[in-house]
Each structure stands twice: as C-alpha cells, then as structure tokens.
Amino acid sequence: MIRKDLATFVQANRNDHIIRAQAGLRSGYSTLEHIYIIKQLFEKSKEYDVTFYCCFLDYSKAFDTIEHEKIWQALKNQGIENKYIRILKNICDNSETKIKPEKEGKEIKIERGLRQGDSLSPQLFTAILKEVFRQLDWEQCGLSINGENLSNLRFAIDLIISSSTGKGLQAMLNDLLRESSKMGLDINTLKTKAMANNIARTYSDQ
C-alpha cells in the first residue's frame, strides 16, 4: 500500500508532471490520442505540400537498466522534496537479490533497474524519461504547428520524434541516443523505424 501511495504522491507533486507529449502512464489517456495526431500530421502535410519525417523508437529493457542515482537526481530536479526522495531511496536501497548456484548464496545489492509490476516503477521511469528530454535543446526542432513546435510524442517507453527534414530527424535521433545513454537507457534498434510522407525527398537530399 505504501508503494501505491508514494506513486500517487510522486505523480501529483512533480512540478512538471503534466506533460502533453506523454500519453502513457497517465489516467484518462491512451494510444488513441497519439495515433490520431500522427494520422493528422500525415494528412495535413500532404494537404499543405510540406515534408514530414518521423521515427518510431522503443527502449530496450527500459526498466532493467536505469541507475538509481539518476532517478533521485531526476526527482530532485523535478521538484520532489528531499525527505520523500530519501524514503524512496530507502525502499530501493533495501532491495537485494540472492544467487544460489548450490545451497548457499550471497546477497547482492540492487543498484539499477526498476521492479516490473511495482506501482512505483512507472512514475520513476517517467521521471527519468522527462529528465532525458529536459537535456535536449529541441525548442526549434520538430514541426511548426500554429506557432508551436511538435518534436515528440511519448507513450510510456515508446517514442515518436518528428521533423520537417531528414537531416533534422537524424540530428534529433543522435541527441536522443546520447542523452538516453547517460541515464542508462538504450534504444532498441530492431524496433526503430523511420517514415516520411510522399512529398519528402530522400535524407541525402535534405
């Protein structure tokens, strides 16, 4: 119960917890919103004769690789008070596993990764992902829509990044790979797919 209460608290008290780009791990949101947005982007880019590139990405074993110290720093940067971070840290620091090749096993302290199925894990992962995007200088990247730039959409560990040029998309992908690796996150290359509308020229031409 305490984990569930803490998860609710973290979600409610991160000073940037409402992220329009993130539809996953949020009550009342689903993949339908993002599917509709992508569909509209393809249709409107064709209607207005503009190029549109996007890349679909997925993190590989995302919950298994995050370093705990990165989580605490991310929560601090996002407005969670130190006393609550200490509680979360105490919970995670007391997590241990034991390997028993024979009859006896040595306890090993777990210093990275989040428990699958734990009510805290989605909120802690969201904090890490938010920290990745905080480090990206993407204010001028993406597609300009009504005076705002749309650079990415997120649903839990699944991401979509977008650009009006192939070179721009590649630069954004390089940035994302760099900042993600700093947090212990690796992109699953087998699930990474790029798309472009019919108007877009090849990347080498952009």
Among 194, 189, 122, 191, which Cα is nearest to 163's?
194
In whole angstroms, what separates CA 89 from the centre of its chain?
A: 21
How does 26-57 read in b/e, with b if 16+ C-beta sit within 10 Å?
A: beeeeeeebeeebeebeeebeeeeebbbbbeb
Residue 79 located in a structural domain: yes
pLDDT score recorded for residue 91: 81
pLDDT score recorded for residue 203: 45
pLDDT score recorded for residue 103: 55
pLDDT score recorded for residue 179: 95
CATH of the domain at 7: 3.30.70
pLDDT score recorded for residue 126: 85
Number of domains in the chain: 1
Residue 47 located in a structural domain: yes
Residue 205 located in a structural domain: no
* Distances 81 to 105, 125, 194 between C-alpha atoms, Å: 37, 18, 40
Per-run averaged pLDDT (10 residues), the chain, 206 residues: 58 55 63 86 88 92 85 90 88 61 56 71 86 92 85 87 94 96 90 85 48
The boundaries of the domain holding residue 64 are 1-94+110-196
pLDDT score recorded for residue 20: 62
Residue 186 located in a structural domain: yes
Residue 203 located in a structural domain: no
pLDDT score recorded for residue 202: 45
